Every structure is written in structure tokens, then in C-alpha cells.
Amino acid sequence: MVSVRFHFEDLEVWQKAVEFTRVIVGMAEGINTRIKHYRLIEQLESASSSIALNIAEGKGRYSKREFIHFLYIARGSLYETITLLVILNKSNIISEDQLIVMKNSSQEIAKMLSGLITSIKSSMSSEQRASS
């Protein structure tokens, strides 16, 4: 049992992003096509893992502004992942059902990222007003 915890591990959006990547990796392992699309599959795994990685990296930065910057990068990685899933679906490599499930999961993560960004920006504005 791991007893050391980092602050980013408490973020629900980070937890969801890790689970999202776990599902993507499982899906990627099951891809078996006549022509191996290794580059696309590697990019899919990379983009999906970048979501949680950027949330964690941003949480470890020294300012809220930097954290927000990394949350935007995480959101970009999420959109990249969905684009790759769409390409794989249109290439008949993953099913429509797989795409729908992953889009639903990603939409939840996108909303959580946007909510966290808004919350941090709001707290920054409150701090600025309080110091004036």
C-alpha cells in the first residue's frame, strides 16, 4: 500500500484522466488491423496520458497562473485524443460504440477542466480585489 500522496492525486479530474488513459491503453492493446497503424496508436496513448500528466505538472507549479496554463494544455491533449479516436473510427479500427463511450468520458473531463480553470481564475480575481 502506498502511503505517500501528492496533492494532484486528490483532484477528481486527475483521477478521471488516469482512468480515461487506462481505458485508452486497454483499447489500444486490442487493436488488431491488417496494416498496423503503430504511429496513430502510439500518438493516441501519448495524447491521452498527457491529460493527467499536465494536470499533475501544473499542480506542482508555483503559481495559479502556471497551473491554469497546464490545465489548458491538458484540455488540448484531450481534444487531440478525441480527434485520434475519430480518425481511428473513420478508418474502421475502433467501433462507433467505443468512440461514443470515449467521447462521453472525455466530455466529462473537459467540463471538469473548464470548471477548475474558472474556479482558479475566480479565486485569483478575489485575491486581487482583496489586496487592493
What integer is the mean pLDDT of 2-11? Answer: 88
| CATH class in words for 11-122 | mainly alpha
Q: Tens digit of pLDDT for each residue in 95-111?
A: 999 999 999 999 999 99
Whether the predicted pLDDT of 124 surpasses 90: no
Average pLDDT, the chain: 92
Which pLDDT score is estimated for 1?
65
Domain boundaries, the chain: 11-122
Q: Which residues contact 91 (CB under 8 A, 6 or more apart)?
A: 37
Q: How far apart are CA 59 and CA 57, in angstroms?
A: 5
Q: How far apart are CA 51 and CA 100, in angstroms?
A: 19
pLDDT bin (cut points 50, 70, 90) of residue 126 is confident
Which pLDDT score is estimated for 24?
96
Q: Tens digit of pLDDT for each residue in 41-88?
A: 999 999 999 999 999 999 999 999 999 999 999 999 999 999 999 999
Which pLDDT score is estimated for 32?
77
